[in-house]
Amino acid sequence: MNTLALSPSVSLRDVQSLRATLNDYFELTKPKIAVMALVTVAVGYLLGAAPGLNVELMIHTLIGAGVVAAGGSALNHWLERRADAKMNRTANRPIVTGRVSPQEAFSFGFSLTLVGIVYLLVALPTPAAAIAAAATAFLYVAVYTPLKQITTWNTVVGAIPGALPPVIGWCAATGGMAPMGWALFAILFVWQLPHFYSIAWLHRADYARGGMKMLPVVDTAEGRLTGRATAATCGLLVAVTALPFFLGAAGVVYLLGSLPISLWFFARTLRFAKDRNDRTARTVLRGSLVYLLVVMAFFVADGVVPRYFGG
C-alpha cells in the first residue's frame, strides 16, 4: 500500500529530473546563437539556389548546420568551464554548477559536431557545405575559444566562424562559392566587430575575472582604443554594406534601405568613441542588432525574393 502511494510522486520526480537534465543539455547548445546562425544559413542557401529552390536540400542543410552549431557551442562550454566559473554571468552554466559533467559535455558536443558534418556529407550532393561547416566548428572551438585567453585579436579571428554560416548555405545550394556569397560573409564578419566590442565593454570586469583578453580588458581605464576600434570597424561596415549591390546580389532598394541604417549605426559608435560609458555601449549593442535585422530584411526583399519572382 505504501509503495503504491509513493510511486506517483517518485515518477513525478523522475520526470522533473529528466526535464531539468534536458534543459541543461539544451542550454549547452546556445540555442539563441544557433537560431541566428541558421537564419543566415537560410539566406545564403536561398540566394545561391535561386531561382530553383529545393526545399528538401534546404531542410537537410539547416538540420546539419544546426547540429554542428549545437555541438560547437557545447564544446565551447566545455573548454571555457574554468573561466566561466570565475565570471558572474556564466557562473550558473550547467558544467560550472556540476549539473553536467565535463566528460558528458565533451562527449555531447563532439558527437553532435561529428554527426552534423557526416549528415551534411550524406544528405547533400556535394561535400562543400560539410567542409564549410567543419571549418566553422574548428575555427570556433579550436582557434577562437583558446585565443580568448591569449590575445585581443581573438575577436577578429572569432568573426570568421561567426560569418561562415551563409557560406554553408551558399555551398549547399551551389556546391562552391562565388562573390555574391562572400558579400554576405563580409557583412557578417565586419558587423561582429563593433557588436562584440560593445559586449566586451559592458562585461569588461567579468571578462577580466575570467582571464579573457578582450580589448576593453587590456585597454586603459578610459577605453580610448576600444572606442576607436568600435567606430573604425563600423565605418568599414558602412562601405561593406554596399557590396551586395555592387556585386549584383541586391538592387537599388537594398542600397537605399541599408546605407541609412548603417550610417545610423555608425553614428552610435562615434558617440561611444567620444563618450565611453555603459549607456553609449548599450546603444551600440542595440544598434548592431537593429542594423543586422534591417539589412538582412532588405537583402531578402531586394536580393533573394526578386530572383524567384522576377521582381
Q: pLDDT by residue for the chain (311 residues), tens digit each? A: 444 444 555 577 778 888 999 999 999 999 999 999 999 999 999 999 989 899 999 999 999 999 999 999 999 999 999 999 999 999 999 999 999 999 999 999 999 999 999 999 999 999 999 999 999 999 999 999 999 999 999 999 999 999 999 999 999 999 988 888 889 999 999 999 999 999 999 999 999 999 999 999 999 999 999 999 999 999 999 999 999 999 988 999 999 999 999 999 999 999 999 999 999 999 999 999 999 999 999 999 998 999 888 75
The architecture in CATH of the region 24-177 reads: Orthogonal Bundle (1.10)
User: Is the sign of the CA dihedral 27, 32, 34, 38 positive or negative?
Assistant: positive
Residue that the C-alpha cell 562543400 belongs to: 128
- Domain regions of the chain by residue span: 24-177, 188-311
Question: pTM to 2 decimals?
Answer: 0.91
Packed helices 55-79 and 128-138: angle between N→C axes, nearest 10 degrees: 20
